Every structure is written in structure tokens, then in C-alpha cells.
Structure 1
Amino acid sequence: MKMRFVLTLLVALLSMPTWAAMQTVTLSVPGMTCSTCPIIIKIALSKVEGVSQVDVSYPDREAVVTFDDTRTSMKALTEATSNAGYPSTPLASGADRE
């Protein structure tokens, strides 16, 4: 009986969805031309389900986005900026740049 319980518990644990993995990505947004642009981009990205934090830098023309990769994707992030009028592309991570 104990063995059956342990096996049932093990199967239940293994069949659970993968735990959420928070990711941070930097998007290049070259179309920022004024100090209002970062506000629009931040609002657009914040509306994407799964996004937990957005920091937009006008001087660098970049947006740093932290998101739950089980609830959204890189494609959804770039679509959100494009739909707001600011096409973006992901930058290579620091490890990839070296």
C-alpha cells in the first residue's frame, strides 16, 4: 500500500507543469526619438501578460523586460512594442557578446 502511494505521488509530481522561469531580456528599440517614447513603450510592455518589470532607457534606446516565460514569449514582447509603433529586437546577452 505504501509503495502504491509513493508511486502515485511521484507520478503526480512529475506530471505537474514546469515551474515558472523568470527571464530578463534587453530589447533594442531604435525608433525612440523623444522623451515620451519610453512611457509608451513601458505601458505597451507592461500590458503583456506575464511581464513583471519594465525599465526603458531613452538614451540607450533599450527596454529591459523581466517576464515569466511560461506566460509570455519574446515574440509577444516584440509584437507589443511594434503594435505601439516602436519595432524592437532582442539584444544578445552579455555572455553572447563576449
Structure 2
Amino acid sequence: MRIPTFIVTLLLSGSAFAGIPETLTLDVQNMTCAACPITVKKALEQVPGVSEVKIDYERKTATVHLDPDKGKVAMLTKATADAGFPSTVRK
């Protein structure tokens, strides 16, 4: 029996077992200037599993798409805190 090439490729890439991305919103403290969102975004983009980050300076939030198989929520809050911007996950 011959296995179609696209199935072999899919299985070898591991994407068949990838986690479903979660969308999380963080409340971010200490964003007081126009440069702050840039720093927060760069810090979050360094977390494994993060595929997208959007910062809302007016609301002081960060919306993050995270693959839970690669990164954890605690890694997000640690990244922002290490950059000088403590954060908590909005419920």
C-alpha cells in the first residue's frame, strides 16, 4: 500500500499534532509612553509559541496568540515583567 506524499509530509512536519493556538489578553502595567508598547511587543514575541502580538496602548493590554504546546502563560507574564511591565491574564 502506498501512502500519499502529502500525508507523509504532514506527519513528518509534526503539524498534525500541533496545539490549537490560544488567544489571551494581558493587562499590562507601566505603559506610559509611545515606546512602551514596542518594548512589550518585542518581549512577548521572544516567548516560544507566540505567533502574534497586538498591543493596545489606550487600554493597556496585549493580545497574544500562543501555541500551548510550545509556551506557557507564565512565560508571557515573566517576559513582560522582565521588560519592566508586569502583567496579568485578563479573565
Shorter-chain TM band: 0.7 to 0.9
| Partner of residue 86, structure 1 | 85
The percent of aligned pairs where both chains have the same amino acid is: 41
| Bigger Cα Rg | 1
Query: Which blocks of at least 5 consecutive residues in structure 1 are unaligned?
Result: 1-17, 93-98
After TM superposition, give the deviation of residue 72 of structure 1 in Å. Answer: 0.3
The one-character-per-residue Cα deviations of 1:10-36 (angstroms, maximum 9, x if unpaired) are xxxxxxxx5412001000002111111
TM-score normalised by the chain length of structure 2 = 0.80
Aligned residues: 77
Take 2:45 and 2:53, find their aligned partners in 1: how far apart are those partners?
7
The one-character-per-residue Cα deviations of 1:20-60 (angstroms, maximum 9, x if unpaired) are 12001000002111111000000000011110000001100
Per the alignment, in what secondary structure is the counterpart of residue 30 of structure 2?
Answer: coil
- Structure 1 residue ranges (4+ consecutive) displaced by more than 4 angstroms after TM superposition: none
Take 2:62 and 2:36, find their aligned partners in 1: how far apart are those partners?
11
Take 2:79 and 2:29, find their aligned partners in 1: how far apart are those partners?
15
Take 1:80 and 1:74, find their aligned partners in 2: how far apart are those partners?
10
The one-character-per-residue Cα deviations of 1:42-88 (angstroms, maximum 9, x if unpaired) are 00000111100000011000000001000000000000000000000
Query: Which blocks of at least 5 consecutive residues in structure 2 are unaligned?
Result: 1-16
Take 2:72 and 2:21, find their aligned partners in 1: how far apart are those partners?
11
